[in-house]
Amino acid sequence: MPLPAASLRRQGLSFESLSARQTIMNAHFPISLLALLCLLAACGPSSDRVRIEGDYRNISSSEFYIYDESGQSGPPDTITIREGQFTFERPLSKPCVLTLLYPNFSELRLIAEPGKTITVKGDANQLMKTEIGGTEENEALTQFRLENSTRPAGDQLLAASQYIRSHPDRLSAEALFLQYFARAEQFDRRTIELLDAMRRARPDAAYLTELRRRLEPMSRTAAGAALPDFTAIDIDGDTVRASQYGKRPLVVLFWSSWNARSRAYARALHRCHKAYGDRFDVLTVSFDYSAHTSRRRAATDSLPGTLVCDGRSFDSPLTARLGVRYVPGLLLIDKNRRIVSRDLSADEIYNALGKLVTP
């Protein structure tokens, strides 16, 4: 999802103007009033705002995004770092999870609470070791991240799962769910189980219910599930049905001409087609809005198989039926129409498919 760059700009004061103002204040204001003003300046944000104060080493100036994935606390925003530091505030009516998206696409999540000041301290060269504090929830997240950042991916998933099951009522559990389980790459049946545990603990959390609705289609196409029934019209106007597959392994590829990574998948399938011939089937679903553009790119990339493009992209009924959230994506299905895996990388397709094809 493209994020708007709503810049945060602060007007600076020159040394001359600052000195002049200090002289005037010293001349006209009593010491006690000056002390009061300084005290007020040092206070935290008002009860309907959250403040985030950052201090990063090994960086002078940069910008990164901050946003609420639920969309409930306002639109995305941009944080500007100057001389390695930043101070950012935004209106906030209730606690929520905010995501920090850095220029290298690393993501960190924090818990924002009205009236609180969140501290962010780290090294620009080691973003995953950033320490986020100021509240108990953020300190718990930081501790989890630092303890698990160097562990194998499978161990991190297990630790995140255990934390969520132990603390389903906490926003830190929601943050870990978004970090580790709400992405299609890691989706399996336990994703829904963990989400349901949080929903039971927080029945008034509307975002969790909405997230459940969005992820439900993916549970139908998780590894181990049967390929859902579907009907679609291919690029030539012919009807395509799930029932026509099952004699051979099937690869369903979700791609688009506007996504650069899709070309790697096209090359991978072309390589598989040359090696395995007609021992497997291919169904490619284009997310282009133009069937003409889709057909032309498929020909240019020598993309094998049946091509479907209804011009509706993510609003297509087939997209919802097969639980697609982004492109490129992929379903690998055996000859019994059982889903073996989904969203393999382009480099993994050749070997994974080779295990399924009949010699």
User: Which CATH number fits the domain that encloses residue 125?
Assistant: 2.60.40
pLDDT of residue 104: 86
- pLDDT: which is higher, 76 or 325: 76
pLDDT of residue 28: 45
- Are 160 and 117 members of one domain? no
What's the average model confidence in pLDDT over 52-72? Answer: 92
What's the average model confidence in pLDDT over 293-311? Answer: 93
Domain boundary among 85, 116, 140: 140
Residue 19 lies in a domain: no
3 — pLDDT class (breaks 50, 70, 90): very low
Residue 20 lies in a domain: no
359 — pLDDT class (breaks 50, 70, 90): low
Neighbour-count burial of 110, counting CB atoms closer than 10 A to its CB (0-12 exposed, 13-18 middle, 19+ buried): buried
Average pLDDT, the chain: 85
Q: How many domains does the chain have?
A: 3
Task: Tell me the HSE value of 278 on the side-chain side, using a 13 A CA sphere.
Answer: 1
Cis peptide before 228 (omega within 30 of 0): no
346 — pLDDT class (breaks 50, 70, 90): very high
186 — pLDDT class (breaks 50, 70, 90): low
pLDDT of residue 225: 87
Residue 225 lies in a domain: no
Q: Which residues pair with 359 in a beta bridge?
A: none
Residue 211 lies in a domain: yes
- Are 33 and 62 members of one domain? yes
**Which residues constitute the domain of residue 89?**
1-8+26-140
pLDDT of residue 10: 34
- Are 177 and 52 members of one domain? no
333 — pLDDT class (breaks 50, 70, 90): very high
Domain boundary among 164, 185, 219: 219
- Are 289 and 316 members of one domain? yes
275 — pLDDT class (breaks 50, 70, 90): very high
What's the average model confidence in pLDDT over 234-258? Answer: 94
Residue 108 lies in a domain: yes
pLDDT of residue 32: 55
177: closest CA among 285, 283, 99?
Answer: 99
pLDDT above 50 (res 8): no
Domain boundary among 115, 140, 165: 140
Q: Residue 233 and residue 307: Cα distance in Å, rounded?
A: 9
Residue 194 lies in a domain: yes
pLDDT in tens, 127-183: 989 999 999 999 999 999 999 989 998 899 999 999 999 999 999 999 999 999 886
pLDDT in tens, 196-205: 999 999 999 9
- Are 206 and 239 members of one domain? no
User: Which CATH number fits the domain that encloses residue 283?
Assistant: 3.40.30.10
Residue ranges of alpha helices (H) inside the chain are 15-28, 31-42, 136-148, 153-166, 171-180, 189-201, 206-219, 262-276, 291-300, 317-321, 349-354
- Are 311 and 249 members of one domain? yes
Place of tokens 């991190």: 156
- pLDDT: which is higher, 29 or 184: 184
Q: Are 107 and 182 in contact (CB under 8 A)?
A: no
pLDDT above 80 (res 17): no
Residue 226 lies in a domain: no
Residue 343 lies in a domain: yes
pLDDT in tens, 19-58: 333 333 344 444 454 454 445 445 778 999 999 999 999 9
pLDDT above 60 (res 121): yes
What's the average model confidence in pLDDT over 195-223? Answer: 88
- pLDDT: which is higher, 355 or 342: 355
